Amino acid sequence: METILEMRNITKVFPGVKALNNVNLDVRKGEIHALVGENGAGKSTLMKVLSGVYPHGSYEGEIVYNGQEQHFRGISDSEKQGIIIIHQELALVPLLSIAENIFLGNEPAKFGIIDWHVAENRTRELLAKVGLKEDPLTLITNLGVGKQQLVEIAKALSKDVELLILDEPTASLNENDSDALLALLLEFKAQGISSILISHKLNEVGKVADRITVLRDGATIETLDKQDISEDRIVTSMVGRQLADRFPQREPDIGEVVFEVKNWVVHHHIHSERTVINGINLNVRKGEVVGIAGLMGAGRTEFAMSVFGKAYGRNISGEVFIKGEPVDVSTIGKAIDHGIAYVTEDRKTYGLNLIDHIKHNTTIANLDGVSHSGVIDDMAELKVANEYRRKTNIRSSSIYQKTGNLSGGNQQKVVLSKWLFANPDLLILDEPTRGIDVGAKYEIYTIINQLVSEGKSVLMISSEMPELLGVCDRIYVMNQGRLVGEMPASEASQEKIMRAIIRAEGKAS
Partner 1 sequence: MTIETAATQGKKDLATNGSALKGNYREYGLVLALILIMLFFQYTTSGVLFKPVNLTNLVLQNSYIIIMALGMLLVIVAGHIDLSVGSVSGFIGGLAAVMMVRWQIHYIPATILCLIMGGAIGAAQGYWIAYHKIPSFIVTLAGMLVFRGLALWLLGGQSVGPFPPQFQLLSSGFIPDFFGYPGFNVTSMLVGIILVVLMIYFSVRGRAKREKHGYQGEPFTLFVAKNLIIAGIVLFLTYLLSSYKGLPNVLIVMSLLIALFVFVTKRMTVGRRIYAMGGNEKAAKLSGIKTERLTFLTFVNMGVLAALAGLIFAARLNTATPKAGLGFELDVIAAVFIGGASAMGGVGQVMGAVIGAFIMGVMNNGMSIMGVNIDWQQVIKGLVLLAAVIFDVYNKNKA
Q: Does 389 bind partner 1 (CB under 8 A)?
A: no
Q: Does 350 bind partner 1 (CB under 8 A)?
A: yes
Q: Does 371 bind partner 1 (CB under 8 A)?
A: yes
Phi, psi (deg, nearest 5) at residue 503: -60, -45
> Residues 8, 28, 159, 360: which binds partner 1 (CB under 8 A)?
360
User: Which positions ≥6 away from 408 have C-beta within 8 Å?
Assistant: 39, 347, 435, 436, 437, 440
> Residues 379, 491, 506, 509: which binds partner 1 (CB under 8 A)?
379
> Residues 254, 296, 316, 382: which binds partner 1 (CB under 8 A)?
382
Give min distance, CB of 332 to partner 1, in A. 5
Q: Does 77 bind partner 1 (CB under 8 A)?
A: no
Query: Rounded to whole angstroms, how far apart are CA atoms 210 and 220?
Result: 17
User: Which positions ≥6 away from 457 have C-beta within 8 Å?
Assistant: 258, 259, 284, 285, 286, 287, 288, 289, 290, 425, 426, 427
Q: How many CA atoms lie within 13 A of 500 on its CB side?
A: 22
Q: Does 57 bind partner 1 (CB under 8 A)?
A: no
Q: Contact 434/88 with Cβ under 8 angstroms?
A: no
Output 77 or 337, the one with its CB closest to partner 1.
337
Four-residue CA torsion sign, 137, 142, 147, 148: positive
> Residues 353, 453, 493, 494: which binds partner 1 (CB under 8 A)?
353
- The helix (run of H) or strand (run of E) holding residue 68 is strand 68-70
In terms of DSSP bridges, do strands 340-343 and 371-372 run parallel, antiparallel, or are they unpaired? unpaired
> Residues 65, 259, 264, 342: which binds partner 1 (CB under 8 A)?
342
Q: Does 378 bind partner 1 (CB under 8 A)?
A: yes
Site for partner 1 in 390-409 (CB under 8 A): 397-398, 400
Q: Does 53 bind partner 1 (CB under 8 A)?
A: no
Output 184 or 329, the one with its CB closest to partner 1.
329
> Residues 191, 242, 349, 490: which binds partner 1 (CB under 8 A)?
349
Site for partner 1 in 434-473 (CB under 8 A): none
Q: Does 339 bind partner 1 (CB under 8 A)?
A: no
Q: Does 354 bind partner 1 (CB under 8 A)?
A: yes
What's the DSSP call for residue 434? T
Q: Does 17 bind partner 1 (CB under 8 A)?
A: no
Give min distance, CB of 397 to partner 1, in A. 5
Q: Contact 58/255 with Cβ under 8 angstroms?
A: no
| CA proximity to 35, closest of 164, 178, 240, 209 | 209
Phi, psi (deg, nearest 5) at residue 342: -125, 120
Query: Rounded to whole angstroms, how far apart are CA atoms 222 and 356?
Result: 37
Q: How many CA atoms lie within 13 A of 129 on its CB side?
A: 19
> Residues 34, 85, 352, 414: which binds partner 1 (CB under 8 A)?
352
Q: Does 316 bind partner 1 (CB under 8 A)?
A: no
Query: Rounded to whole angstroms, how far apart are CA atoms 103 and 253?
Result: 57
Q: Which stretch binds partner 1 (CB under 8 A): 18-26, 115-123, 202-210, 346-354?
A: 346-354
* Interacting residues with partner 1 (CB under 8 A): 15, 308-309, 311, 331-333, 335-336, 342, 344, 349-356, 360, 364-365, 367-368, 371, 374-376, 378-379, 382-383, 397-398, 400, 418
